[in-house]
């Protein structure tokens, strides 16, 4: 046997209704945003409830490489960030050093986008690179936006405006910039968080549709928590021009910060209740949570689920049939895969709209998702901005399906939920969930009350 070709697969076994309570780990989006603000703040910050995952690990390691001290306690869930900007300046590779600091960022979109903007504002020579898939994910619009404010150069090394990214700047010297909003909200978030690092006041104009706006609002809230002043204005004849005005002249201030559980991760557990006809409560998240993905429960409610919203917990239950819906998921695009799996068990088709940018994530989350759902017997139509999922006819699913995950954590977690109702569904490379949720399958196993079936093939 050639052991080099061995790989693991996991099979979530069908069963009855799932009932229980769970608290997901800390939000990746909040953890990586808080790390940027804390790293370039004045003084030491404490981040409580931080996520330990591949994406947050590469962010922490990159910050350490440029001289930021980050120490961990409570099994990594509490981080102390020594964010003295002056001290970091003494340790970091500066512009006049001919050697660029090499920073490996894996396949973490938040890390490369946030650090590209932040380090261009901080100044110095850096090269940000990652795994092959990262070098296929566009970042050109962000790099182009930085040209108008940087005292120096930021450029992409791969075709199509993709990483690696080379940074050689003395900081920022401009006060206005523009960024396209229709590819990734992380571009705008990165630019916003960089302004206080540049110690300037800057106006950022968003060109075109802004996707996933709740994530940008989250960024503004965190920045305010760390002491920045952030205002939104709408211009143009119809108010269609969105501008973010940031007073970053005072920089960031250190704080003690509590991180919410991950709302994107919570979607899998709410979906577990919808698929199985059970009742699941997620602790630590309420309707006023900072993360927009709590709105996923609104979709389940429209599909026929009962939703109980409390200040610090949300419960989803289902007793009747699921029905298909027509929904724009632009604001909660990280939960499209989860909803698509739920949609296979509805009594009518579901149309997902507004998520054309999902093709540029860790994988093509429209085309690749459709391909895998079809392996289960679902009829799926791709559209420019999303997809339509027709339910699997009762008793007609294709048994023994082996579903590929494309090294995409959200493909693995969402597709695995199909096994709650369908027998023989095998998920390849389950370890890819380490990107944002290393303990996902263990937590799911505890919630559903029965073990998964693991194989090496």
Residue 386 near residue 353 (C-beta atoms within 8 A): yes
Helices 409-416 and 263-276: crossing angle in degrees, nearest 10, is: 20
Overall average pLDDT of the 428-440 stretch:
95
pLDDT recorded at residue 176: 94
Helices 440-448 and 263-276: crossing angle in degrees, nearest 10, is: 30
pLDDT recorded at residue 208: 83
Closest to 105 in 3D by CA, of 35, 162, 55: 55
Q: Is the link from the previous residue into 164 a cis peptide, with omega within 30 of 0? A: yes
**Distance separating alpha carbons of residues 193 and 208, to the nearest angstrom:** 20
Overall average pLDDT of the 141-168 stretch:
95
Residue 347 near residue 322 (C-beta atoms within 8 A): yes
Give the tens place of pLDDT for each residue, 107-153. 999 999 999 999 999 999 999 999 998 999 889 999 999 999 999 99
Give the pLDDT band of residue 97 (cuts 50, 70, 90): low
Torsion of CA 371, 300, 54, 452, to 10 degrees: -70
- By three-state DSSP, how is residue 26 classified? strand
Helices 336-343 and 367-375: crossing angle in degrees, nearest 10, is: 30
**Distance separating alpha carbons of residues 260 and 303, to the nearest angstrom:** 26
Give the tens place of pLDDT for each residue, 215-252. 899 999 999 999 999 999 886 544 467 899 999 999 99
Give the tens place of pLDDT for each residue, 264-293. 999 999 999 999 999 999 999 999 999 999
Residue 135 near residue 107 (C-beta atoms within 8 A): no
**Distance separating alpha carbons of residues 111 and 216, to the nearest angstrom:** 15
Is the confidence at residue 48, as pLDDT, over 60?
yes
Closest to 421 in 3D by CA, of 21, 22, 17, 20: 17
* Percentage above 90 pLDDT, the chain: 83
Give the pLDDT band of residue 3 (cuts 50, 70, 90): very low
**Distance separating alpha carbons of residues 154 and 193, to the nearest angstrom:** 17
Is the confidence at residue 93, as pLDDT, over 60?
no
pLDDT recorded at residue 37: 98
Q: Identify the residue whose tokens are 């040209």.
A: 147
DSSP of 426-454? EEE-GGGGGGT-TTHHHHHHHHHTS--EE
Tell me which of 165 and 89 has the higher pLDDT.
165
**Distance separating alpha carbons of residues 116 and 111, to the nearest angstrom:** 8
pLDDT recorded at residue 269: 98
Closest to 74 in 3D by CA, of 53, 56, 50, 43: 50
pLDDT recorded at residue 236: 52
Residue 294 near residue 285 (C-beta atoms within 8 A): yes
pLDDT recorded at residue 193: 98
Is the confidence at residue 400, as pLDDT, over 70?
yes
Is the confidence at residue 383, as pLDDT, over 60?
yes
Overall average pLDDT of the 356-374 stretch:
90
Q: Identify the residue whose tokens are 């027998």.
A: 423
pLDDT recorded at residue 118: 97
Residue 304 in tokens: 């026929």
Is the confidence at residue 399, as pLDDT, over 80?
no
Is the confidence at residue 92, as pLDDT, over 60?
no
* Percentage above 70 pLDDT, the chain: 94
**Distance separating alpha carbons of residues 361 and 110, to the nearest angstrom:** 11
Which residue is catalytic, options 293, 334, 408, 443?
334
**Distance separating alpha carbons of residues 314 and 323, to the nearest angstrom:** 21
CA distances from 334 to 219, 327, 359, 421 (A): 16, 14, 12, 23
What pTM, to 2 d.p., does this model score?
0.86
Is the confidence at residue 99, as pLDDT, over 60?
yes
Overall average pLDDT of the 25-30 stretch:
95
Q: Identify the residue whose tokens are 């698929």.
A: 275
pLDDT recorded at residue 1: 37
pLDDT recorded at residue 234: 81
pLDDT recorded at residue 182: 78
pLDDT recorded at residue 2: 42
Helix count and strand count (H, E) for the chain: 13, 26
Give the tens place of pLDDT for each residue, 311-326. 999 999 999 999 999 9
Overall average pLDDT of the 337-365 stretch:
93
Give the pLDDT band of residue 84 (cuts 50, 70, 90): confident
Phi and psi angles of residue 352, each rounded to the nearest 5 degrees, phi first: -105, 130
Averaged pLDDT of the chain? 92
- To the query of whether residue 368 is one of the catalytic residues in this protein, the response is no
């Amino acid at each position: 046997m050639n052991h080099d070709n061995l790989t693991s697969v996991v099979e979530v076994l069908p069963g009855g209704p799932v009932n229980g309570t769970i608290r997901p780990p800390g939000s990746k989006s909040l953890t990586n945003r808080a790390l940027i603000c804390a790293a370039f703040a004045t003084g030491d910050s404490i981040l409580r409830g931080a996520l330990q995952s591949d994406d947050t690990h590469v962010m922490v390691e990159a910050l350490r490489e440029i001289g930021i001290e980050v120490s961990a306690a409570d099994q990594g869930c509490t981080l102390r960030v020594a964010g003295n900007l002056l001290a970091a300046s003494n340790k970091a590779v500066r512009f006049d050093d001919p050697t660029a600091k090499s920073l490996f960022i894996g396949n973490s979109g938040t890390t490369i986008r946030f650090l590209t903007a932040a380090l261009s504002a901080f100044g110095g020579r850096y090269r940000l690179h990652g795994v092959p898939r990262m070098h296929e994910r566009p970042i050109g619009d962000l790099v182009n936006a930085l040209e108008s404010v940087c005292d120096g150069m930021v450029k992409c090394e791969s075709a199509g405006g993709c990483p690696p990214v080379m940074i050689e700047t003395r900081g920022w010297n401009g006060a206005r910039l523009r960024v396209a909003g229709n590819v990734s909200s992380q571009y705008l978030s990165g630019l916003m968080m960089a302004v206080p690092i540049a110690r300037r006041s800057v106006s950022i104009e968003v060109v075109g549709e802004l996707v996933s706006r709740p994530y940008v609002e989250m960024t503004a809230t965190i920045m305010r928590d760390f002491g920045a002043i952030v205002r939104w204005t709408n211009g143009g004849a119809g108010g269609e021009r969105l501008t973010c005005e940031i007073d970053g002249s005072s920089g960031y201030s250190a704080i003690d910060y509590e991180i919410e559980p991950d709302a994107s991760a919570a979607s899998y557990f709410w979906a577990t209740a919808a698929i199985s006809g059970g009742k699941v409560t997620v602790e630590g998240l309420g309707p006023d949570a900072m993360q927009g993905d709590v709105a996923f429960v609104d979709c389940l409610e429209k599909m026929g689920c009962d939703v109980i919203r409390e200040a610090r917990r949300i419960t989803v239950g289902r007793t009747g049939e699921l029905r298909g819906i027509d929904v724009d998921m632009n604001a909660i695009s990280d939960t499209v895969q989860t909803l698509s799996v739920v949609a296979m068990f509805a009594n009518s088709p579901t149309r997902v709209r507004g998520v054309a940018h999902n093709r540029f994530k860790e994988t093509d989350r429209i085309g690749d998702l459709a391909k895998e759902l079809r392996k289960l017997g679902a009829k799926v139509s791709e559209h420019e901005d999303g997809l339509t999922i027709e339910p699997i006819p009762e008793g007609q699913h294709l048994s023994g399906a082996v579903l590929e995950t494309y090294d995409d954590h959200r493909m693995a977690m969402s597709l695995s939920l199909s096994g709650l109702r369908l027998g023989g569904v095998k998920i390849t490379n389950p370890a890819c969930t380490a990107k944002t949720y290393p303990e996902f399958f263990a937590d799911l196993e505890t919630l559903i009350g029965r073990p998964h079936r693991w194989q090496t093939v």
